[in-house]
Amino acid sequence: MSPFVEIDNVAMRYGGTDGTLALEGATLSVAKGEFIAVVGPSGCGKSTLMRLVTGLWPPTEGNVIVAGSEVTKPLSIAGMAFQNPTLLPWRRVLDNVMLPLEVVEPHRRRLRANRAQYEAEAHALLKLVGLEGFAQKQPWQLSGGMQQRTSLCRALIHQPELLMLDEPFGALDIFTREDLWAVLQDVWLARRPTVILVTHDLREAVYLADRVLCMSARPGRIIAETVIPFPRTRDLALTYTPEFQALVAGLRGQIDAARKQPGLADVA
Amino acid sequence: MSLEAPHPKDRAAALIAAARRRRRLQAWLPWLVVIGMFAFWEAGVRAFDVAEFILPAPSAIAASMVKWWNPILQNAWATLVTTTIGFALAIVFGLALGVAIGSSTLLYHGLYPLLIAFNSVPKVAVVPVLVIWFGAGAIPAIITAFLISFFPIVVNVATGIATVEPELRDVLRALGAKPSDIIRKVGLPRAMPYFFASLKIAITVAFVGSIIAETVASNDGIGKLMIVASSRFDVPLVFAGLIVTGIMGVGMYAIAAAIETRTTGWAMRGQLDPMSAAPGG
């Protein structure tokens, strides 16, 4: 079976021919329904990778293929969540969650006629992330963690086949973060979207992903891959086992190596 | 004096009462200031025995208003109508051009210098040209009100749309949204606070525009009334015209402000009562 997401020898340079080279020779493939995490030193082009896969930006070199066709414009099968909640401040929580339904086909066409059904789905999602009863609130009435949960609901409401998460829990405290790991795992097990999670948190990567990819310092490329063998459903107790900690320590070593090891451009 | 801490319930009640007193003061303050200003003015004119054709006392202006109530009302109505038409045109075209300029860098760079050049031209200098084209009457006044109030609307709407956070735009782009979707769902709502801020400026300067035009060439309107009154050295009537203009300006401003708080309350949350604020956590 061909991979669902395939990035082949991709380079990305910002701002003209002598601009910053963010990615070079990046190659990776993700199977359908797989959960992968991308880690790497700060500024290694992880977020750039996200933007390339979703088609927000075109790559300078190489190909990005998603669901069998080359990505040339923004995808509509993707749900995205960023480090900031990026909620629209003039919309209530419920309307923020339902935003993708107003844009993405076929929901866009059906929304008016089936509003009640879609609203029920939104309420179910909000309940899943522990936001029952907050649907009618304005975003600024919620705490940072609650806004982030809302943002996660918005990424999921249109049942995307591809879920792109760019440090979605980065700004949260550790307790909220661990709660949301469990929520995300539940959602993934229930719906099996393909997930690419960019994160700085190695425990998060090991806890959630099937495979953890480590990127080099800028210009970024994938330099190591760690398969996470733990069965699902994983629970938080797992994170205190020696096996888990050994994997985290291994990743930590990879990142240290990545920081010392320059990218391709400096070698050439 | 008791050193015991007040009961929490009492403290909450005291806070609410204090907030209520504050709100009441806020509601009355503008009236108190206006009344105080007129009292000060009246006292000053009487104390220094200022001649009526230099600075009439508020009582003289009020008497003049009562005496000439019919022409004042008719001319004020004429000014209000021309100003409102010019202002409405400015809203329609200002909003359209603001959206266009704000969402396209090409248009922004292409049109901005021209817009600034237009806005730098004194509108008094334009009125004679308009009179040559359209003849004396309401049309030059409408166009002047439009010209003068158009610019702040364009600039503000364009700024609101051009400064949409890239993250907000990416949220929609990542869903495959069309540029028109992005303008409708993010750009326009985001620009609304800017738009209403500009309306408050635009409505007040629209009166300036129409009255300038009326003083140059018109058969009716407050501007015309003031020119006629000053040619007869009826200074109290001139001041009556000024005050009526001020009242109309405040009235229109209040309408714009009321619409603003109804539609863009989300952007004004800092001004809401802290007692109703969000739960923390």
Q: Which two tokens stand for residue B166?
A: 């890239």
At B270, the pLDDT band (50, 70, 90 cuts) reads low
Torsion of the alpha carbons at A24, A29, A34 and A36, rounded to the nearest 10: -20
Q: Does B176 touch chain A (CB under 8 A)?
A: yes
pLDDT in tens, A226-252: 888 888 888 888 889 999 999 999 888
> What are the chain A neighbours of B185 within 8 Å (beta carbons)?
88, 99, 102-103
For A232, phi and psi rounded to 5 degrees? Answer: -95, 160
**Are residues A56 and B173, on separate chains, in Cβ contact within 8 Å?**
yes
DSSP string, chain B: ---SPPPHHHHHHHHHHHHHHHHHHHHHHHHHHHHHHHHHHHHHHHHHT--TTTS--HHHHHHHHHHTHHHHHHHHHHHHHHHHHHHHHHHHHHHHHHHHHHH-HHHHHHHHHHHHHHHHS-HHHHHHHHHHHH-SSHHHHHHHHHHHHHHHHHHHHHHHHHT--HHHHHHHHTTT--HHHHIIIIIHHHHHHHHHHHHHHHHHHHHHHHHHHHHHS-SSSHHHHHHHHHHTT-HHHHHHHHHHHHHHHHHHHHHHHHHHHHH-GGGGGGGS-GGG-----
> What are the chain A neighbours of B190 within 8 Å (beta carbons)?
90
pTM above 0.80, yes or no: no
**Chain centre to alpha carbon of residue B222:** 18
Q: Across-strand partners of A35?
A: A195
**Are residues A75 and B174, on separate chains, in Cβ contact within 8 Å?**
yes
**Are residues B267 and A89, on separate chains, in Cβ contact within 8 Å?**
yes
CA distance A54 to A162: 9
A21, A218 Cβ separation under 8 angstroms: yes
Name the minimum distance, in Å, from the CA of A229 to any CA of chain B: 32
Number of Cβ pairs < 8 A linking chain A and chain B:
73
> What are the chain B neighbours of A75 within 8 Å (beta carbons)?
174, 176
**Are residues A86 and B165, on separate chains, in Cβ contact within 8 Å?**
yes
pLDDT in tens, A148-202: 889 989 988 888 888 989 888 887 888 888 888 988 998 899 888 999 999 988 9
Q: Please report, for residues B5, B80, B124, B253, the alpha-carbon distance to residue B203 in angstroms, rounded to integers and kept in the order given.
A: 52, 11, 18, 7
B255, B108 Cβ separation under 8 angstroms: no
The residue of chain A nearest to residue B182, with distances taken between CA atoms, is A103
CB-nearest to B172 from A78, A90, A103 is A103
Q: Which two tokens stand for residue B51?
A: 């001649």
| pLDDT attached to residue B277 | 44
Nearest Cα residue to A94 out of A54, A125, A122:
A122
pLDDT in tens, B207-252: 999 999 998 888 889 999 999 999 999 999 999 999 999 999 999 9
Residue with tokens 């956590």: B281
Q: Does B177 touch chain A (CB under 8 A)?
A: yes
Residue A265 has pLDDT above 60, yes or no: no
Three-class secondary structure of residue A225 per DSSP: strand
Query: Considering chain A, what is the average pLDDT of its residues?
Result: 85
Nearest Cα residue to A202 out of A162, A167, A242, A151:
A167
Q: Does B170 touch chain A (CB under 8 A)?
A: yes
Q: Does A84 touch chain B (CB under 8 A)?
A: yes
> What are the chain A neighbours of B168 within 8 Å (beta carbons)?
86, 88
Name the minimum distance, in Å, from the CA of B162 to any CA of chain A: 16
| pLDDT attached to residue B269 | 64
Residue B79 has pLDDT above 90, yes or no: yes
ipTM of this model?
A: 0.74
Find the helix packing angle between B188-216 and B123-134, rounded to 10°.
Answer: 70
A183, A130 Cβ separation under 8 angstroms: yes
**Are residues B174 and A164, on separate chains, in Cβ contact within 8 Å?**
yes
Contacts of B31 (CB under 8 A, 6+ apart): none
B72, B244 Cβ separation under 8 angstroms: yes
**B110, HSE (Cβ side, Cα atoms, 13 Å):** 9
Q: Which two tokens stand for residue B271?
A: 């001004």
B241, B225 Cβ separation under 8 angstroms: yes
| pLDDT attached to residue A1 | 58
Q: Does B263 touch chain A (CB under 8 A)?
A: no
- Provide the sign of the torsion angle of the four alpha carbons A36, A42, A44, A50, taken in this order: positive
**Are residues B176 and A76, on separate chains, in Cβ contact within 8 Å?**
yes
The residue of chain A nearest to residue B189, with distances taken between CA atoms, is A90
pLDDT in tens, B135-180: 888 899 999 999 999 999 999 999 888 888 888 888 888 888 888 8
Q: Does B174 touch chain A (CB under 8 A)?
A: yes
pLDDT in tens, A72-97: 877 778 888 888 888 888 899 999 99
**Are residues A140 and B267, on separate chains, in Cβ contact within 8 Å?**
no
